[in-house]
Amino acid sequence: FLLQVKDLFSSLGVGCNVLELDQVDDGAGVQEVLSEITNQKTVPNIFVNKVHVGGCDRTFQAHQSGLLQKLLKENSAYEYDLIVIGGGSGGLACAKEAAILGKKVMVLDFVVPSPQGTSWGLGGTCVNVGCIPKKLMHQAALLGQALHDSRKFGWEYNQQVKHNWETMVDAIQNHISSLNWGYRLSLREKAVTYLNAYGEFVEHHKIKATNRKGQETCHTAAKFVIATGERPRYLGIQGDKEYCITSDDLFSLRYCPGKTLVVGASYVALECAGFLAGLGLDVTVMVRSIILRGFDQEMAEKLSSYMEQQHGVKFLRKFVPVMVQQLEKGSPGKLKVVAKSTEGPETIDGIYNTVLLAIGRDSCTRKIGLEKIGVKINEKNGKIPVNDVEQTNVSYVYAIGDILEGKPELTPVAIQAGKLLARRLFGTSSEKCDYINVPTTVFTPLEYGCCGLSEEKAIEVYKKENLEVFHSFFWPLEWTVAGRENNVCYAKIICNKLDHDRVIGFHVLGPNAGEITQGFAVAMKCRLTKRQLDETVGIHPTCGEVFTTLEITKSLGLDITQKGC
């Protein structure tokens, strides 16, 4: 192999240095380091102008694709065109897109283990400890409900069906491993250099990468994208880091969490509480103040009261934990939580097997050397302010994803932003990421999909008298025979009377809310009006069709409860 490569280079008229590992003193040591840096255990291991190309086959592939010639010609002051810090949804999308555009790209990704010791592979929050495992656990809970419904639809079995947490977690973790692997593969296919190392700026255009063994390498690039995302926040009270878990730990937990206290009222808190209860666990949510802050509060109220009344989740409102104590070790153990009222001197305590903190997330921006190159962050929340092309105050440094100030913390947004950024930086496009009317869905037991403004925000922006709010309860057909409750699924749109009754807010609470909402988001992108809604024929029998027949406005104040059918 080595000879072939040598021949290739000499045919190109390029000189190369060869280090024969079996002829130097510390050959084995060099090989080990090489494999750390490059993830390649075999030789020959070829570098061109400091860039790792690969083995013999990859060198010939690079020759065929023209990459090799490009690398040889490159006389750039920097090793890379782009270094992306953070291998989550946004970072990977940006890196791959830049590579497609022919650029030399490196991605640094390193998961600092959670205080409980949980860590994971490439792909970031969404794949490992976010959207993917949460939707799968949500699905597990929905299937529990389906089992319950199925008897009403004629399926016959008598046994009490139990849920096995380990089986579920194994299946989900297997899927995640395949996704991690897929990301590795797609980086390799696109010739993006991947380092499983922690990246820190050390000087302008230069980053230090530290791997798990503490080995350091330095790399330079013309441009940088910061996409480090966020990690769950801790309370800062006695016992929290020792005994509590977060969403970083829950999805790979080796044992069923048992009786669980979820602290927080974010969508993460409600989603976790929802599926844990759906799997049959005793779940309490401790809420300091507002449920689903930033979302439409009427929807939040309906969603949480469904969880409380129909789904068996207990809510402790206006309390915050002040201490967590371990009573018994075990899997799970037993914890005592002391909480105090936010409104008075009252304290309460409770005993739980697991305490899950979901009180918010902190940006991973404070320990990556940003101060060394002068990138400004918002000192309060650690977020990075950027302009409308995701550029920080340092012109060659960009930021995308959850660490952006004032932007939605959503995977598809980060992906979109990452791709478009790469195209603007290295392609001919000038398209900017559009952060308006981004749809999203909260996967609580009753799913909540929305796009556009909440009613509160709409009133704030347009004033109440200029709005018309249409709404209705609906009863999914499948729920009738299943004997599930009426008047909990709810549809609402907010229209701007001053602009042809344009739909500026869309909200749906019910099964498959995510699937329903997506198309409506497209319609809102096309400036949907109420009239167009009315003119569109429904698909019968679905839940989505309710939006084509909304007649009752809030201002009329008519009854929207459904009677019978």
Partner 1 sequence: SEDSAPLLDYDLLVIGGGSGGLACAKEAAQLGRRVAVMDYVEPSPRGTRWGLGGTCVNVGCIPKKLMHQAALLGGMIRDARHYGWEVAQPVPHSWRKMAEAVQNHVKSLNWGHRVQLQDRKVKYFNVKASFVNEHTVRGVAKDGKETLLSADNIVIATGGRPRYPTQIEGALEYGITSDDIFWLKESPGKTLVVGAGYVALECAGFLTGIGLDTTVMIRSVPLRSFDQQMSSLVTEYMASHGTRFLRGCTPSQVRRLPAGRLQVTWEDRTSGKEDTDTFDTVLWAIGRVPETGSLNLEKSGVKTSPDSQKILVDSWDATSVPHIYAIGDVAEGRPELTPTAIMAGRLLAQRLFGPSSALMDYDNVPTTVFTPLEYGCVGLSEEEAVARHGQEHVEVYHAYYKPLEFTVAERDASQCYIKMVCLREPPQLVLGLHFLGPNAGEVTQGFALGIRCGASYAQVMRTVGIHPTCSEEVVRLRISKRSGLDPTVTGC
Instruction: Please report, as residue ranges, which positions from 366 to 425 form the binding site for partner 1 (by CB under 8 A).
Output: 410-413, 416
- Of the residues 13, 15, 117, 154, which one makes contact with partner 1 according to CB under 8 A: 154
440 is a contact residue toward partner 1 (CB under 8 A): yes
For residues 514 and 431, what is the distance between their CA atoms, to the nearest angstrom? Answer: 27
- The residues in 304-333 that bind partner 1, with binding defined as CB under 8 A, are none
489 is a contact residue toward partner 1 (CB under 8 A): no
User: Of 40-48, 71-79, 150-158, 229-237, which segment contacts partner 1 by CB under 8 A?
Assistant: 150-158
- The residues in 168-187 that bind partner 1, with binding defined as CB under 8 A, are 168, 171-172, 175, 178-179, 181-183, 185-186
Binding-site annotation, residues: 135, 199, 264-271, 360, 402
Angle formed by the axes of helices 165-189 and 89-100, nearest 10°: 20
Q: Please identify, using beta-carbon distances, which residue of 368 and 516 lies nearer to partner 1.
A: 516
- AA identity, residue 392: T
CB 70 within 8 A of CB 64: no
For residues 561 and 107, what is the distance between their CA atoms, to the nearest angstrom? Answer: 53
Phi and psi for 508 in degrees, rounded to 5?
-140, 135
Q: Please identify, using beta-carbon distances, which residue of 167 and 309 lies nearer to partner 1.
A: 167
Q: Kindly report the three-state secondary structure assignment for every residue of 101-151.
A: CCCCEEEECCCCCCCCCCCCCCCHHHHHHCHHHHHHHHHHHHHHHHHHHHH
Q: How many residues bind partner 1 (CB under 8 A)?
A: 88
Cβ neighbours of residue 503 under 8 Å, at least 6 residues apart?
452, 493, 494, 495, 523, 524, 528, 529, 530, 533
Which residues lie across from 314 on neighbouring strands? 284
The CA distances from residue 57 to 48, 53, 192, 275, 349, in Å, are 15, 10, 16, 48, 64
- The residues in 500-519 that bind partner 1, with binding defined as CB under 8 A, are 512, 514-519
For residues 493 and 405, what is the distance between their CA atoms, to the nearest angstrom? Answer: 28
Q: Please identify, using beta-carbon distances, which residue of 193 and 441 lies nearer to partner 1.
A: 441
Q: Please identify, using beta-carbon distances, which residue of 118 and 440 lies nearer to partner 1.
A: 440
150 is a contact residue toward partner 1 (CB under 8 A): yes
Annotation marks residue 219 as catalytic: no
Active-site residue (options: 63, 204, 507, 540): 540
- DSSP annotation string for 11-25: HTT-------TTTST
Q: How far is the CB of 464 from partner 1 (least distance, A)?
A: 26
Neighbour tally for 293: CB within 10 Å: 12
User: Of 107-115, 195-203, 239-247, 545-553, which segment contacts partner 1 by CB under 8 A?
Assistant: 545-553
- The residues in 443-462 that bind partner 1, with binding defined as CB under 8 A, are 449
429 is a contact residue toward partner 1 (CB under 8 A): no
- The residues in 117-146 that bind partner 1, with binding defined as CB under 8 A, are 126-127, 131-132, 135-136, 139-140, 143-144, 146
- Of the residues 6, 293, 497, 525, which one makes contact with partner 1 according to CB under 8 A: 525
β-pair type (80-85, 105-108) = parallel
Q: How far is the CB of 8 from partner 1 (least distance, A)?
A: 30
User: Of 358-366, 381-389, 476-484, 492-500, which segment contacts partner 1 by CB under 8 A?
Assistant: 476-484
CB 462 within 8 A of CB 447: no
162 is a contact residue toward partner 1 (CB under 8 A): yes
Q: How far is the CB of 535 from partner 1 (least distance, A)?
A: 6
For residues 115 and 324, what is the distance between their CA atoms, to the nearest angstrom? Answer: 15
Where in the sequence numbering do the catalytic residues fall?
540
